[in-house]
Structure 1
């Protein structure tokens, strides 16, 4: 039987079940209010001024310890990130020293570290060549690159290569490794082997001479399409009036204008080289230098913006060093393109630019056959 509850004013209002329901709701709300107040009170202690002392309960201490652990963890992570950032900056600085053409930006990935250690060469021939130009390397090995003892002087020949990109690169690298195991004359650095990187290639050659062959008397940078008469070159260098230091010689170029035509292979923008003419330099087909110069070139090049005309760049290094290239004792021995083969003429020159590896082998074989060339 349902019991009715009557208000003092005598009106029926709530039945018994409704009364119990609201009483229960009141108790729940009261309990929640007390608990929340307690929590707010505890949490509000963290906002107290530093000079106010309050009782430390075990629960508060544990919360504090958890917060401090999290803070320390965050600080450790921040320090780690900072260390990593500093490492990345340091790595970037190491990778990008000075400018893109400076040799210390790069590393040798194929080398002959024993070169020049057993015997000190009189002359080191450094040949920049494309990784895929096996024909040129074979032709040089069969001809002037095979001349290791000339008039009692040790001559060593090495090929400088960069990296190729594109399909077949891995297979080419493996082939280069096998080639080097057979001939022990390849040096490869991790710059990209392109025409635009000729200055980089030349500066890496200079750095290799500094680090691997510092005691050689002379060195020559000679292109892979060249005929080179080693006998005549050693004869020239053994003349008593040839300087032992600060010496650079070859086919001299004077007052050569800077090419500003953008579609030209030899285009150099003004921001890289503002002058209208280059300083005196030796033509890049083949120039000879005393072996004290490579270290000076590497050092002075830190302050010279790179441009892709590598022989003019070496001329700029000489200018900033306060030096000038020297004319060879007999300038007619340094020739560029020939109009045709003449055995007598080829017996008297030092350099000639050829059209192919086959020409080099053909001319060399004929020059070395018995009998007077003239």
Structure 2
């Protein structure tokens, strides 16, 4: 019995400890370089972006943030041709305009396309929904392209949505639990500054395999471990951290995956990521209603599964008790681990 209780405490207790016992506060480290980044971020002026918007964006949608004081802006990265997935997101978790009476907004951020048919479809989609932004970046599959696209997304936020207190960056294949995220953020009992929140990856060794697309040579990066960073499928930045990451990016030239890149920039700005086990990271969590009402995200969701899960959550309605939430977490995580083992 003791072993069973210990197993549950270690495997599933983190969610409950964070939710009910801990109030994580971001840590800020300051030295001369950090102070310089933070001061330049405070004075950052991107007014030229508004004047020359067509230089960076094919579809700029500058009036998408009409509400003057957004609590949360969710920016969903999506490939140009993924209209089916975007529509599924629109019909499900993105079909919300407020959390506990606080205004939110969900927008899609996509890259350039070489297909004229896809481009015309994007223009029609933008005119129909008014929630699409498109950058001039062509190849987001490359490290440089993905980094450039993310920086243009942050540039758009800073320029056209500067009053959004918090920015959620995610992907169109991720289920996002906006009510749970909103309740958690409102319960932090602190002002929304220096917040970099997600599933934190710690003590990850650089990929030293020359044949790997994530290869990082010792010459470019001699350290044993990468800086701590939030896994890229879903994470939250406060508006000031978005500015700091953008400013610090000019000094981070190492070719690394974009989520690691954001972690590098945050480190340059003196911001330490805050971990929450309720973000699934890159894992797809096996569905259970009470589990999904507690989690912040679940990755790897196709359009049909996304709509099926959303419909079931809406039909069952209501909140789950503490016991049902815990049992739901046990059920969905055990199934997730079993699925992974069977796959391997």
Is the TM-score greater than 0.5? Answer: yes
| DSSP 3-state at the match of 1:283 | strand
Larger radius of gyration: 1
Q: Which residue of 2 aligns with 1:176?
A: 122
Q: Alpha-carbon deviation of 1:273?
A: 3.9
Q: Which residue of 2 aligns with 1:35?
A: none
Q: Are 2:159 and 1:211 equivalent residues in the alignment?
A: yes
Q: Are 2:292 and 1:346 equivalent residues in the alignment?
A: yes
Q: Are 2:159 and 1:159 equivalent residues in the alignment?
A: no
Q: Which residue of 2 aligns with 1:139?
A: 88
Structure of higher RCO (CA pairs closer than 8 Å, 6+ residues apart): 2
Superposition CA RMSD, Å: 2.1
Change in 2 beyond 3 A, CA 1:268/1:128: farther
Q: Are 2:182 and 1:222 equivalent residues in the alignment?
A: no
For structure 2, list consecutive stretches of 5 or more residues without a partner in the other structure.
1-52, 325-344
Q: Which residue among 107, 115, 133 is the counterpart of 2:64?
A: 115
Q: Which residue of 1 aligns with 2:192?
A: 244
Q: Alpha-carbon deviation of 1:105?
A: 12
Is the contact made by 2:280 and 2:299 (CA closer than 8 Å) also made in structure 1?
no
Pairing 1:179-190 to 2, within 5 Å after superposition: 179-190=125-136
Change in 2 beyond 3 A, CA 1:339/1:296: closer
Provide the rounded CA distance (Å) in 2 between the counterparts of 1:297 and 1:335.
Answer: 21
Provide the rounded CA distance (Å) in 2 between the counterparts of 1:308 and 1:135.
Answer: 30
Q: Which residue of 2 aligns with 1:126?
A: 75
| DSSP 3-state at the match of 1:362 | helix
For structure 1, list consecutive stretches of 5 or more residues without a partner in the other structure.
1-103
- Aligned residue pair count: 266
Q: Which residue of 1 aligns with 2:266?
A: 318
Change in 2 beyond 3 A, CA 1:243/1:266: farther
Pairing 1:1-374 to 2, within 5 Å after superposition: 107-165=56-114, 169-196=115-142, 197-270=145-218, 272-328=220-276, 331-334=277-280, 336-338=282-284, 340-372=286-318, 374=324
Provide the rounded CA distance (Å) in 2 between the counterparts of 1:360 and 1:120.
Answer: 30
Q: Alpha-carbon deviation of 1:269?
A: 4.2
Provide the rounded CA distance (Å) in 1 between the counterparts of 2:281 and 2:253.
Answer: 30
TM-score by length of 1: 0.67
Q: Alpha-carbon deviation of 1:132?
A: 0.9
Provide the rounded CA distance (Å) in 2 between the counterparts of 1:246 and 1:171.
Answer: 42
Q: Alpha-carbon deviation of 1:118?
A: 3.9
